[in-house]
Structure 1
Amino acid sequence: MSSEARPFYRHHVFFCTNVRKPGERRSCGLHGAVEARDHAKKRIKELQLARPGSVRINNAGCMERCELGPCMVIYPQGIWYGYESEADVDEIIDTHIVGGQIVDRLRLK
C-alpha cells in the first residue's frame, strides 16, 4: 500500500452559494449560483460520474471572490472558475472534468 495520499474524489467541485443581506457586498447566491450548482449536479449524474472516487458537487459558503461574479473551485487541482450561464458550467464539466483541460476563458486569475 502506498503511503502517498490520494484524494477521495477525482474532482471535488464547490459552488459558492452564499447569500448576503440587501445592501451588503455582492453575493454569488443572488446571481444564479444555486441554479448553476443544481444544473452541475444533474449533468454529473447524467454522465454517471456522481460516485465516490469520481466527482462530487457541493455548496460552499463565501469563498471571498464574489466581486468577480458567481464562482466555483475544482479540487484537488485548485482551479477557480467564474461563470455566467448553464452553458459555461457545461463547458467546465465537458472540458475540465471530462476532458482534463482547463477552460482558460472562464478561469479566475
Structure 2
Amino acid sequence: MKYKKHVFICTNDKPAPKKCCGSEKGMELVEAFKASLTEKGLQKEIRAQRAGCLDTCAFGPSVVVYPEGIFYGKVTPEDVEEIVNEHLINDKPVDRLKLDF
C-alpha cells in the first residue's frame, strides 16, 4: 500500500434543500488536513484529499479514514488537529466525531 492512511474529505455540493459538505467548509477542511500533515512531515505517509459525495449529507461535513473505514461527521476545522494527532498518528479514532452505522 502506498499510504499508511488515506483521508477523504467530502467537498460535494448539491442543490438545496440538502445540506452539503462543500458549502459547509469542505475545502477548508481539505486545506487544514493537508497543512497539518505537511507541518508534521507526514504527507508521504498519509494522504488527505477532496472527495465527492460520501452519502452522509445529514452528518456533514464528513470525512472517512482508510484503511479502517472510519467515518466522521460534523467535522469542523477546529477538529482537524485532534483527528490528525489521535487517529492518524496514534491510531485512536476520535469517538465524539465518529459515525456509527
User: TM-score, normalised to structure 2's length?
Assistant: 0.92
Aligned partner of 1:40 among 14, 21, 33: 33
Structure 2 unmatched runs, 5+? none
On the 8 A contact 1:18/1:61 being kept in 2, the answer is yes
* One-letter amino acid of the counterpart of residue 108, structure 1: L
Decide whether the 8 Å contact of 2:7 with 2:48 is kept in 1. Answer: yes
How many angstroms apart in 1 are the aligned matches of 2:75 and 2:89? 20
State the number of aligned residues: 100
Flag structure 1 segments of 5+ consecutive residues without an equivalent: 1-6
CA distance in 1, matches of 2:75, 2:66: 21
Partner SS state of residue 35, structure 1 = helix
Aligned to 1:101: 92
58-67 or 83-92, which moves further after superposition? 83-92
Choose which of 6, 9, 14 in structure 2 pairs with 1:20.
14
Residue identity matched to 1:20: K
Q: 1:83 to 1:47 in 2, by over 3 A?
A: farther
Match of residue 30, structure 1, among 23, 27, 30: 23
- Match of 2:4? 10
Q: Normalising by structure 1, what TM-score?
A: 0.86
Q: Please name the residue that 1:69 is paired with.
A: 60
User: Post-superposition, which runs of at least 4 consecutive aligned residues in structure 1 deviate over 4 A?
Assistant: none
How far off is 1:84 after superposition? 3.7
Cα distance in structure 1, aligned partners of 2:58 and 2:73: 10
